[in-house]
């Protein structure tokens, strides 16, 4: 099947408006006869469920957590971008569009990104109207901060808990509809399959995580807002429950999976402390507004710091290597995430890592504390030369901006980041790849939609900071509710979809068979055992830097691990009860398939772009020596994979990317 | 370090349940409390026993899914943290640690340490929102300036993660801190004032119907709250409620 | 406004209002008692006025009795409701880590105060009512002089009663140490004055009961 992205004709700035003016609508009376299933209740799923219910559709919403408010969007810290230009610093829809396409290393679809930039301003209006308490200035207007990869301040924030506040906003909109009976909420339910009837997505199979009951739910359309698959690495900043199952089952039922290898490795996370580690904690990118990243210049100082003989704050300025400022003078510490992560890895691989494992660099606030302290002392008419006073005042400012992050760091690491630099290291954070969708956000299965991080998204090969929240809400509040109407307009006479069809029978049987296999397998190793092994393969061979040999090995190893898993996994208990091991087993089974496709995709993409870095695709000379080398001639396309049984048998379909409004050029942050 | 754990085991909602002793050895002080339980669970699975069920998800203190009443305190002995952020360095070698589920009639046990907190969701359904359509066709975000102090106070209230530690810690199992956080957030913002009367009346009504107890101002909730939600919110809700009751 | 007592916040509010009333009453009771250790005549004058002025006797006194009973009964109702809000208790609960002993045991300090009040009524109030409304002697005189001061002194002769009163006041102090500020919180007063008010509340909760104890002791030893 050829990929039709269904991008509307016309100039880019008018596409969305013209398109909205011409698509089919469903009249309010008919909406009452149409059911929509929304899986996932994060920013994308939550906002979509609320908006669809408000429009009049009957919505059934599902989440595996005990409340929609706990979806992992809640953990987003830094902020949300919007082209409001409140700061008057030259921002515009075009500039946000441009930054996002450039930041994504020219691997995203122009029309989608422009639409995203266009609706971004609405998101802020909407959220403020909902009572989201964004940070404000003393004049009472909204405040902004800047994020990596851009030259303007367009990020709206609520301390270090922006995702929480936005999600609670979407959750409150959902609550209103749940209270009105327009959304039927299914907490602690996990989607285990999509049901396709006559070529259209018509329902899902779920498992009630409390009772183990396998349930059938039908609808005229199914929307997946089920998040990313970063947990394929076992260790990531994702929540423990974040998984690929919904997306992967959709893939197996015919939805193409696009660009699985595009993974964002976030540069500022708390380093791994030991084998017991269950997840990694992010320190918001916003910290790079004020923190300076460095390692010692000399090996002897590295060793002294590792052994505790030298305190990092006592190392002289001239003996420090502020490597981001050195390598990228224009953007300095605010280079995009992929660039910052690779630079940290480069220094640590060269032996300059500052902790016992050799995998950490410093993020230092001493200079910012000094600067803010002096500024505050000046404003308050106090002595700017009183070092102790300046330090206290500066720490106060930092505390106001990042208090919760500093507290989090101190609790985990047991060091006071106000007085000693933080230690950070990159970690898997976000996946740009996902289910392929057209301009309508519909997958290759008619009636099956995919929104938010779960789709292959608007972020190309790398996502800029504070853009995930923007995309999730844009999809859910402002894009999907329009585009889904165009599809549902044909369904006004369909009537309720029955759940006793042979397609539902078959899907339920598949689900039950898998569960029965897992429960009765009685192997020797726990689910986590396999998940950790998979994570190690992924991190070592499909991680921040990839090469042909490693990827080829990874494909083979994952295949073997998968076979071992099915033979030897041990799931205690039964299906008919609360059984977290069983739920985990199902998720890991899908990760074991996705991981292989992931590596296959990485192997086929013989270029470096954004989060995908191939050691055999680097600039060999000139100013950009050692930087990632993109290959626009051969790889300016979206790689959408069609399921054919084994992950390795997947068939590649290409959506060529056309850049009419932005000139393709090398991404330089020098 | 080596520890003795006394953990509440309960097969399902109908089972009576009871404390069971477990030993864990070689616990690293850098482990989080939940990672310590992971190790125990791995051990149990390998021995062919059923692992301990407990709620958890983000493991960075923001989703509000983790619970646990540890040594007589919600989220354990540390302050300003959830259980997932509690680290084993808070304990000593040889300690005995009691681990129980959050207890309240409105939080029935599902299994072991997992409880059902949907009562809190139902309170939010009753009024925890501003009735504005999600069309995006609202006024410009900067059209209504909001006093920074009010905005910050509203934000502080809005940081509630809905974990239920306040209910679990309260000797009366009262949900006043949780409900007041939401009421306060909206009461402090001009957008929220329009529906303030109905909101507070409906949310309090639902709170009472769910079977939470009455607040007696012991302040335990504020101390145990991982997000430091202030008792001032309860006072504000009391004011809002009395005002609303007078209005009818 | 209808059914406000059926809501948790309404009940709290009612508890607080009755508490305010009782705390004001306690203050005036204390001031009058205090005069007894400085000047018997003033004490007699005030006592006679309070015991015979119709507003006090027929309006304030019934309200007071109602207030005491309401506060007590409502306290118990709340306690029972609150106990019902948790079916299974904790095997280990470290209440001291997050709240004061006083705040967690209001029902017990309250119960003891109520027992004390019954004794107090038997000691003073019932004989008063008997003299005034059963016997019908509204003069307040005995052997040609006011009887109030004399009766007061008589009561504090037995050491057991003095001791009982002292214990009663200790419980009153414990009750007030939480109750004073709790009442303000319940009516929604938590603002920039709260910190100051907390200090005042503590002083009130300790000094008033202490004062009552001192008065009892003075009369015991000066007799």
Average pLDDT, integer, range C22-38: 95
Chain A residue at shortest CA distance from B39: A276
Integer CA distances (angstroms), B104 to A651, B19, B57, B213, C2, in order: 54, 17, 22, 9, 29
Class of domain A500-636: mainly alpha
Q: From chain C, pick out residues whose CB is under 8 angstroms from the CB of B207.
A: 8
CA dist A231 and B95 (Å) reads 34
Q: What are the structure tokens assigned to A442, written together?
A: 């519909």
B8·C4 Cβ contact <8 A: no
Torsion of CA B233, B236, B240, B242, to 10 degrees: 120
- The b/e string for A206-215 (b: 16+ C-beta within 10 A; e otherwise) is bbebbebebb
Q: Is B92 helix (H, G, I), strand (E, B) or coil?
A: coil
In terms of domains, do B80 and B169 share one? no
Is the CB of residue B209 less than 8 Å away from at least one CB of chain A? no
C96: CB partners within 8 A, 6+ apart: none
Q: From chain A, pick out residues whose CB is under 8 angstroms from the CB of B32.
A: 278, 412
Chains C and A touch (3+ CB pairs under 8 A): no
Q: From chain A, pick out residues whose CB is under 8 angstroms from the CB of B186.
A: 131
In terms of domains, do B128 and B164 share one? yes
The residue among A581 and C192 whose pLDDT is bigger is A581
Is the CB of residue B98 less than 8 Å away from at least one CB of chain C? yes
B136·A135 Cβ contact <8 A: no
Domain boundary among B110, B144, B165: B110
Q: What is the pLDDT of residue B61?
A: 94
Average pLDDT, integer, range C118-145: 90
Domain count, chain B: 2
C100·B216 Cβ contact <8 A: no
CATH of domain A12-22+40-262+432-491: 3.50.50.60
Average pLDDT, chain B: 96
Q: From chain B, pick out residues whose CB is under 8 angstroms from the CB of C7.
A: 204-205, 208, 241, 245
- In chain A, domain spans: 12-22+40-262+432-491, 266-427, 500-636
Asked if residues A420 and A11 have their Cβ atoms less than 8 Å apart, the reply is no
DSSP bridge pairs for A221: A36
DSSP bridge pairs for B114: B111
> What are the two backbone dihedrals, phi and then psi, of residue C205, each rounded to the nearest 5 degrees?
-65, -30
How many Cβ atoms sit within 10 Å of the Cβ of residue C141?
12
Shortest CB distance from A128 goes to which of B85, B129, B141?
B141
Asked if residues C171 and C109 have their Cβ atoms less than 8 Å apart, the reply is yes
Average pLDDT, chain C: 93
In terms of domains, do B69 and B146 share one? no
Average pLDDT, integer, range B207-235: 97
CA dist A651 and A401 (Å) reads 48
Domain boundary among B91, B110, B129: B110
pLDDT at C158 over 50: yes
pLDDT at A133 over 90: yes
pLDDT confidence tier of residue A270, bands split at 50, 70 and 90: very high
Q: Cα dihedral sign for C58, C63, C69, C72?
A: negative
C82·B71 Cβ contact <8 A: no
**What would the pLDDT profile of C65-86 be if each residue is shown by its tens digit?**
999 999 999 999 999 999 999 9
CA dist A574 and B76 (Å) reads 31
Nearest to A489 by CA among A55, A180, A112: A55
How many Cβ atoms sit within 10 Å of the Cβ of residue A21?
8
In terms of domains, do B48 and B10 share one? yes
- The b/e string for B40-49 (b: 16+ C-beta within 10 A; e otherwise) is bbbbbbeeee
Q: Which of residues 100-159 of B touch A (CB under 8 A)?
A: 110-111, 114, 116-118, 120-121, 124-136, 138-142, 144-148, 151-152, 154-155, 158-159
Q: Cα dihedral sign for A445, A451, A455, A460?
A: positive
Q: Cα dihedral sign for B179, B181, B183, B186?
A: negative
**What would the pLDDT profile of B64-114 be if each residue is shown by its tens digit?**
999 999 999 999 999 999 999 999 999 999 999 999 999 999 999 999 999
pLDDT at A1 over 70: no
**Is A337 labeled as catalytic in the residue annotation?**
yes
pLDDT confidence tier of residue B248, bands split at 50, 70 and 90: low
Mind telling me how many Å the CA of B151 is from chain C's nearest CA?
A: 17
Catalytically annotated residue among A188, A253, A288, A337: A337
DSSP bridge pairs for C13: none
Average pLDDT, integer, range A440-463: 96
Q: Which residues of chain C are at the B interface, by a Cβ-Cβ cutoff of 8 Å? A: 1, 4, 6-13, 78, 81-82, 84-95, 97-100, 103-104, 106, 178, 181-182, 185-191
Asked if residues B130 and B185 have their Cβ atoms less than 8 Å apart, the reply is no
How many Cβ atoms sit within 10 Å of the Cβ of residue B205?
17
The residue among A77 and B2 whose pLDDT is bigger is B2
Nearest to B190 by CA among A137, A168, A130: A130
The region, left, alpha or beta by phi > 0 then psi within -120 to 50, assigned to residue A227 is left
Task: Look up the domain containing B27 and give its range.
Answer: 3-110
Side-chain half-sphere CA neighbours of B17 within 13 A: 23
B141·A135 Cβ contact <8 A: no
Nearest to A290 by CA among A344, A366, A341: A366
pLDDT at B17 over 90: yes
DSSP bridge pairs for B90: none
In terms of domains, do B148 and B59 share one? no
Chain-centre distance for alpha carbon C36: 19
Q: What is the pLDDT of residue A666?
A: 82
In terms of domains, do B122 and B100 share one? no
Q: From chain A, pick out residues whose CB is under 8 angstroms from the CB of B185.
A: 131, 133
Q: What is the pLDDT of residue C1?
A: 42
How many Cβ atoms sit within 10 Å of the Cβ of residue A619?
15
Chain pair B-C, CB pairs under 8 angstroms: 142
Helix count (H) and strand count (E) of chain C?
10, 2
pLDDT confidence tier of residue C3, bands split at 50, 70 and 90: low
pLDDT confidence tier of residue B42, bands split at 50, 70 and 90: very high
pTM comes to 0.95
- In chain C, domain spans: 4-84+104-222
pLDDT confidence tier of residue A285, bands split at 50, 70 and 90: confident
Q: What is the pLDDT of residue B136?
A: 77
Asked if residues A216 and A506 have their Cβ atoms less than 8 Å apart, the reply is no
pLDDT at C2 over 50: no
Average pLDDT, chain A: 95
Average pLDDT, integer, range B128-143: 90
Mind telling me how many Å the CA of B48 is from chain A's nearest CA?
A: 7
DSSP one-letter code for B235: H
Which helix (DSSP H) or strand (DSSP E) does residue A269 occupy? Answer: strand A263-269
CATH of domain A266-427: 3.90.700.10
Q: What is the pLDDT of residue A275?
A: 86
**What would the pLDDT profile of A624-656 be if each residue is shown by its tens digit?**
888 899 999 999 999 999 999 999 999 999 999
Q: Is C165 helix (H, G, I), strand (E, B) or coil?
A: helix
Is the CB of residue B236 less than 8 Å away from at least one CB of chain C? yes
Q: From chain B, pick out residues whose CB is under 8 angstroms from the CB of A125.
A: 136, 138-141
CA dist A411 and A268 (Å) reads 17
Chain B residue at shortest CA distance from C99: B220
Chain-centre distance for alpha carbon C168: 10
**What would the pLDDT profile of A217-261 be if each residue is shown by its tens digit?**
999 999 999 999 999 999 999 999 999 999 999 999 999 999 999
């Amino acid at each position: 099947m050829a990929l039709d992205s269904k991008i509307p004709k016309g100039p880019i700035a008018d596409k969305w408006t013209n398109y909205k003016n011409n698509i089919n609508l469903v009249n309010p009376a008919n909406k009452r006869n149409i059911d929509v299933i929304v899986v996932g209740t994060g920013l994308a799923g939550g906002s979509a469920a609320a908006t669809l219910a408000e429009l009049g559709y009957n919505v059934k919403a599902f989440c595996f957590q005990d409340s929609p408010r706990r979806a992992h969007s809640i953990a987003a810290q830094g902020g949300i971008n919007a082209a409001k230009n409140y700061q008057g610093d030259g921002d515009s829809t075009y500039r946000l569009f441009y930054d996002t396409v450039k930041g994504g290393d020219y691997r995203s679809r122009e029309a989608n990104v422009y639409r995203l930039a266009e609706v971004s301003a609405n998101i802020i209006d909407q959220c403020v109207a909902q009572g989201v308490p964004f940070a404000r200035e003393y004049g009472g207007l909204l405040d902004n901060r800047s994020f990596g990869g851009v030259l303007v301040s367009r990020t709206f924030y609520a301390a270090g808990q922006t995702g929480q506040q936005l999600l609670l906003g979407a959750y409150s909109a959902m609550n209103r509809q749940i209270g009105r009976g327009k959304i039927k909420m299914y907490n602690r339910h996990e989607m285990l399959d999509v049901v396709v009837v006559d070529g259209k997505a018509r329902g899902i199979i779920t498992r009630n995580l409390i009772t183990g009951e396998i349930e059938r739910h039908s609808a005229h359309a199914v929307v997946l807002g089920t998040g990313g698959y970063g947990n394929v690495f076992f260790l990531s900043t994702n929540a423990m429950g974040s998984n690929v199952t919904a997306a992967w089952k959709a893939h197996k039922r015919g939805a193409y999976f696009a660009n699985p290898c595009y993974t964002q490795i976030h540069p500022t996370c708390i380093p791994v402390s030991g084998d017991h580690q269950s997840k990694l904690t992010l320190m918001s990118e916003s910290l790079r507004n004020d923190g300076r990243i460095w390692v010692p210049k000399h090996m002897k100082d590295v060793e002294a710091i590792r052994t505790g003989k030298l305190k990092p704050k006592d190392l002289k300025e001239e003996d420090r290597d502020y490597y981001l400022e050195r390598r990228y003078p224009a953007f300095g510490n605010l280079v995009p995430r992929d660039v910052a992560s690779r630079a940290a890895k480069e220094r640590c691989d060269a032996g300059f890592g500052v902790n016992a494992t050799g995998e950490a660099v410093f993020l230092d606030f001493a200079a910012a504390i000094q600067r803010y302290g002096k500024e505050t002392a000046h404003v308050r008419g106090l002595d700017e030369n009183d070092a102790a006073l300046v330090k206290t005042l500066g720490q106060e400012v930092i505390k106001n901006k990042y208090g919760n992050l500093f507290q989090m760091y101190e609790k985990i690491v047991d060091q006071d980041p106000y007085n000693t630099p933080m230690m950070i290291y990159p970690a898997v954070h976000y996946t740009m790849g996902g289910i392929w969708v057209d301009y309508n956000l519909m997958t290759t299965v008619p009636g099956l939609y995919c929104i938010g991080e779960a789709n292959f998204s608007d972020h190309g090969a790398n996502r800029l900071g504070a853009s995930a929240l923007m995309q999730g809400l844009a999809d859910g509040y402002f894009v999907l509710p329009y585009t889904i109407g165009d599809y549902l307009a044909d369904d006004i006479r369909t009537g309720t979809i029955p759940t006793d069809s042979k397609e539902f029978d078959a899907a339920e049987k598949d689900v039950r068979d898998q569960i029965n296999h897992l429960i009765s397998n009685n192997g020797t190793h726990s689910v986590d055992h396999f998940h950790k092994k998979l994570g190690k393969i992924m991190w070592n061979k499909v991680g921040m830097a990839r090469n042909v040999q490693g990827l080829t090995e990874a494909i083979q190893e994952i295949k073997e691990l998968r076979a071992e898993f099915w033979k030897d996994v041990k799931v205690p208990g039964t299906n008919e009860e609360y059984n977290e091991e069983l739920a985990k087993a199902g998720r890991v089974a899908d990760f074991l398939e996705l991981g292989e496709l992931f590596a296959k995709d990485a192997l086929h993409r013989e270029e470096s772009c954004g989060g995908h870095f191939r050691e055999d695709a680097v600039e060999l000379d000139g100013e950009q020596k050692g930087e990632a080398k993109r290959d626009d001639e051969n790889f300016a396309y979206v790689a959408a994979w069609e399921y054919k049984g084994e992950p390795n048998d997947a068939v590649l379909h290409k959506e060529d990317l056309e850049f009419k409004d932005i000139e393709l050029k090398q991404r330089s942050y020098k | 370090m080596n520890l003795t754990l006394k953990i509440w085991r309960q097969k399902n909602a109908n089972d009576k349940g009871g404390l069971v002793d477990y030993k864990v050895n070689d616990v690293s002080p850098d482990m989080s409390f939940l990672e310590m339980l992971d190790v125990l669970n791995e051990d149990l699975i390998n021995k062919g026993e059923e692992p301990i069920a407990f709620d958890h998800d983000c493991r960075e203190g923001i989703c509000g899914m983790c619970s646990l009443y540890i040594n007589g305190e919600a989220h354990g002995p540390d302050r300003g943290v959830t259980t997932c952020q509690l680290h084993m360095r808070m304990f000593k070698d040889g300690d005995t640690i009691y681990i129980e589920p959050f207890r309240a009639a409105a939080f029935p046990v599902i299994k072991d340490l997992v409880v059902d907190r949907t009562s809190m969701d139902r309170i939010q359904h009753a009024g925890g929102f501003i009735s504005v359509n999600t069309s995006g066709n609202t006024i410009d975000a900067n059209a209504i300036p909001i006093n920074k102090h009010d905005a910050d106070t509203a934000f502080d209230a809005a940081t509630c993660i809905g974990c239920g530690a306040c209910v679990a810690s309260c000797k009366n199992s009262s949900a006043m801190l949780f409900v007041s956080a939401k009421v306060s957030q909206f009461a402090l913002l001009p957008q929220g004032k329009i529906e303030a009367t109905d909101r507070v009346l409906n949310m309090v009504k639902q709170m009472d119907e769910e079977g939470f107890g009455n607040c007696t101002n012991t302040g335990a909730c504020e101390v145990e709250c991982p997000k430091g939600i202030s008792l001032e919110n309860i006072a504000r809700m009391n004011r809002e409620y009395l005002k609303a009751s007078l209005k009818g | 406004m209808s059914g406000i007592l059926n809501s948790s916040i309404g009940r709290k509010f009612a508890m607080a209002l009755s508490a305010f009333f009782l705390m004001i009453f306690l203050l005036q009771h204390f001031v009058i008692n205090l005069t007894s250790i400085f000047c018997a005549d003033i004490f007699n004058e005030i006592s006679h006025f309070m015991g015979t002025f119709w507003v006090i006797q027929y309006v304030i006194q019934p309200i007071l009795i109602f207030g005491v009973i309401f506060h007590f009964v409502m306290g118990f109702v709340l306690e029972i409701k609150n106990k019902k809000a948790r079916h299974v208790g904790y095997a280990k609960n470290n209440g001291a880590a997050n709240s004061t002993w006083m705040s967690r045991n209001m029902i017990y300090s309250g119960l003891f105060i109520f027992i004390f009040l019954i004794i107090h009524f038997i000691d003073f109030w019932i004989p008063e009512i008997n003299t005034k409304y059963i016997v019908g002697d509204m003069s307040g005189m005995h052997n040609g002089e006011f009887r109030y001061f004399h009766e007061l002194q008589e009561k504090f002769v037995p050491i057991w009663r003095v001791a009982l009163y002292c214990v009663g006041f200790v419980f009153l102090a414990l009750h007030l140490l939480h109750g004073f500020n709790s009442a303000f919180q319940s009516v929604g007063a938590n603002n920039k004055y709260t910190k100051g008010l907390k200090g005042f509340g503590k002083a009130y909760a300790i000094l008033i009961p202490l004062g009552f104890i001192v008065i009892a002791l003075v009369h015991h030893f000066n007799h």
